[in-house]
Amino acid sequence: MKTRLHAFFARISSTEYIPRYTRLAGDLQCYKPQLEKRIAETDSENAQWAIQARALIGKSEQHLEKMKIDEGWKTFHTAQRLAINAMNDEERLSRASELRIESSKLNEWRHNSILQILGSEEEQKIPSPALLIRATELKDEHYNNQYYKNALSRNMFQLLFFLLLTFIIAIIVYFAIMHQQMGEHYSEKMKMSGQITGVLLFGFLGAITSAILFTRYSTKFSKIAEISSNSIITLSKVFVGASFSLFIFLLLKSSVAENIQLFNFSINDPLDYFAIAFVSGFSERLAQKAIEAIVGKE
């Protein structure tokens, strides 16, 4: 039992069990002997590509020790590309064929560029080391960009889910306090300050939920990762949504509400405002509809 507990705590405390760390560490350990074998077989001990490749492998290991995983992958891939200089014609032809197939997974312009560099499968052209390196670099750039976008999205989702959990807990605490202070029928006794607090809580909840869906959608289709995963842009959407929910609440409480109709139902309970606040925070269309009802459409 002690051995199992020791192993469990070792996994938690050690970076060696982090998936991204172990993946790069494993690839480096496997590639180093392959690189040394190729250098020896091609008698390239003093060749520039071999010197640079070894140096890059060393830098990749340094990045790994500092948990700079992305930098480690980039230097590792560069070292692998340099080793293409030692490939014979048959190896380059085989690698080119593999790249053509893999390029179908990439975006359109990278796929077309790789095919243009390497030629079609039917031509069976043996690419020069420089051309094959460039085609491989295009492929590596694609995956590096994907990892970068994933990292940005992951950080944004962590922030949004933290906010979501925070406001869910705040709402639970809010209702617990209301119930304790006012009893079973707290919704009938709720003062304006209590209603505004509830409206803001549910407005933020709706806005955060909307921001999570917005981030997930924009991550897939945005060409510029920094825009879709920018915390300022996303958080501004959250606060704007909460502001809209407060605006709708005050509008419904004002005398203006007597002359406009936003809903096909009547509001008889303060809890109804909370549901409306969530929708107002989630979607901007309700606020736009309210504004148009007041000032008219232009």
pTM: 0.64
Query: Do residues 50 and 157 both lie within one domain?
Result: no
Query: Do residues 192 and 256 both lie within one domain?
Result: yes
Query: Do residues 74 and 106 both lie within one domain?
Result: yes
- DSSP result, the chain: -HHHHHHHHHHHH-GGGSHHHHHHHHHHHHHHHHHHHHHHHTT-TT-HHHHHHHHHHHHHHHHHHTT-HHHHHHHHHHHHHHGGGG--HHHHHHHHHHHHHHGGGS-HHHHHHHHHHH--TTTT----HHHHHHHHHHHHHHHHHHHHHHHHHHHHHHHHHHHHHHHHHHHHHHHHHHHHHH-TTHHHH--HHHHHHHHHHHHHHHHHHHHHHHHHHHHHH-S-HHHHT-HHHHHHHHHHHHHHHHHHHHHHHSGGGGG----SS---SHHHHHHHHHHHHH-SHHHHHHHHHHH---
Residue where a domain stops, chosen among 114, 147, 180: 147
Query: Do residues 129 and 30 both lie within one domain?
Result: yes
What was the pLDDT predicted at 219?
A: 59
Number of compact structural domains in the chain: 2
Residue where a domain stops, chosen among 87, 122, 147: 147
Query: Do residues 194 and 259 both lie within one domain?
Result: yes
What was the pLDDT predicted at 221?
A: 52
Query: Do residues 288 and 249 both lie within one domain?
Result: yes
Query: Do residues 18 and 141 both lie within one domain?
Result: yes
Query: Do residues 99 and 158 both lie within one domain?
Result: no
Query: Do residues 173 and 54 both lie within one domain?
Result: no
Query: Do residues 56 and 6 both lie within one domain?
Result: yes
pLDDT, averaged in runs of 10, over the chain (298 residues): 48 58 92 94 93 96 92 94 94 93 89 90 86 94 83 83 93 88 76 87 90 74 51 80 85 71 71 85 73 59
| Residue ranges making up the domain that contains 183 | 149-295
Query: Do residues 49 and 159 both lie within one domain?
Result: no
Query: Do residues 167 and 287 both lie within one domain?
Result: yes
What was the pLDDT predicted at 258?
A: 65
What was the pLDDT predicted at 5?
A: 47
Residue where a domain stops, chosen among 147, 172, 201: 147
